[in-house]
Homo-oligomer: A and B are copies of this chain.
Amino acid sequence: TIDSRRLWDMLMDTAKIGGTPKGGIKRLTLTDEDRQIRDWFKTECEALGCTIHIDTVGNMTAIRPGKDASLKPIAMGSHLDTQPTGGKFDGCLGVIGGLEVLKTLHQAGYETNHPIALVNWTDEEGSRFSPAMVGSGVYAGTFTQAHADAIKDRDGVTLGEALDAIGYRGKVAPGSLEFAAYFELHIEQGPILEEEKLPIGVVKGVQGMRWFNVSITCRESHAGTTPMPYRRDALAAFAEAAVALRQIALDHAPYGLATIGIVEAKPASINIIPGQIDFTLDLRHPDASQLQTMKVKALTVIEKAAERHHGTAVVSEFWDSPPVVFDAGCVAAVKAAADKLGLPTRDMVSGAGHDAAYTARVCPTAMIFVPCKDGLSHNEEESSTQDECANGTQVLLEALIAYDAR
């Protein structure tokens, strides 16, 4: 049995690294805060006799030997980076829960057949370096190392530079460390488990998500001397597009989602009609063909809005993560573990992307969800209880042992 208190203390103590006044965490990937939590992770794993392998994109894998060194490790993992207004659980629970599993095995002197791996993936959040899940994407061969290295943050720093700067570029080739299976524990980040009062979600897959950078170009001119009919106002075009993009999601209810997270007006002067608006667009749907329809509609409404204001739009899709279906064997292991513990479950599809969506491309994968308050995430008030975290971690341990014993 895992130690609920120890798990909770680790979660709360490490939350101080990048801790915010509102009780959340701001620990953007590959910053100095990220370096600090990586150092902590390394020290903790080594104290348990694990070997740490760091690959060239900074993914950290701790390996606890099993009885049979010829078997591939069974892996757990998630991420320790956060959003700028991140909570204490998104990602952290999966890694620190995994660490609690390792501590439990260690203390019990339990010997598995397979080696057991615990991974802290680089840049899961995609907030500083877009898209998301870059580390696991390189691991799975979806992105090349060169592509990842070249991604720039908003200050023009590349992921490669940031990785070198914090000293976490390892020598291992991403993907060379193969896993027999991968289990990821995570908070749901949505409202369903809480509403249905269920402690465990058995995650059968991840919805599709597509990310776009959009730029609408019109003509900057004077706010006081340009009559309304003469304007070529990029902001007016943007506002109309934003309203219409939201409507597309509503037209694909209940699953369609459309989000504009970043918007910037140029030249950004109070008395200049903006000549350019740059914004991001995040479209999601569990069904690939509906998502494609949403995309086509989105391109049309953006173009139409730009045209109405005598401007042009450039849309570049820089991420397309299709819907993922997890491995039936791994999903069954999660379900069986929860059943054995007497924890009620329901099947779910993840609305958020997770590293598991990429590991699923190269090894049998499944996920375990636990509830979080008001379904709130990517918010400093994100919260789950000690019991909810402990339940999920216990299911993780049981699923792992059962899978190892197969």
Contacts and interface: CB of A to CB of B under 8 A. Distances in A.
Interface of A: 83-85, 125-127, 130, 132, 188-191, 207, 209, 211, 219-228, 230, 233, 235-236, 238-240, 242-243, 246, 249-250, 253-254, 256-257, 259-265, 267-275, 280, 282, 284, 350-353, 375-379
Nearest to A239: B242
A284 B267 CA distance: 20
26 contacts: A83-B269, A84-B267, A189-B222, A190-B226, A191-B227, A220-B379, A221-B379, A222-B351, A223-B259, A224-B351, A227-B254, A228-B257, A233-B246, A233-B259, A235-B263, A238-B242, A261-B268, A261-B270, A261-B274, A262-B265, A263-B263, A263-B265, A269-B378, A271-B378, A272-B378, A273-B378
A225 B375 contact: yes
A270 B265 contact: no
B268 A84 contact: yes
Given A224-B284, A282-B224, A375-B226, A269 B265 contact: no
Nearest to A263: B265
Given A130-B270, A259-B271, A282-B271, A224 B207 contact: yes
A209 B228 contact: no
A126 B249 CA distance: 39
Q: Name the residue in A130, A262, A284 with the highest tally of chain B Cβ atoms < 10 Å from its Cβ.
A: A262
Contact of A243 (B125, B127, B243): B243
A95 to B, nearest CB: 19
B377 A221 contact: yes
Contacts of A189: 222, 224-225
Given A224-B351, A250-B228, A282-B224, A261 B272 contact: yes
B265 A225 contact: no
Nearest to A254: B227
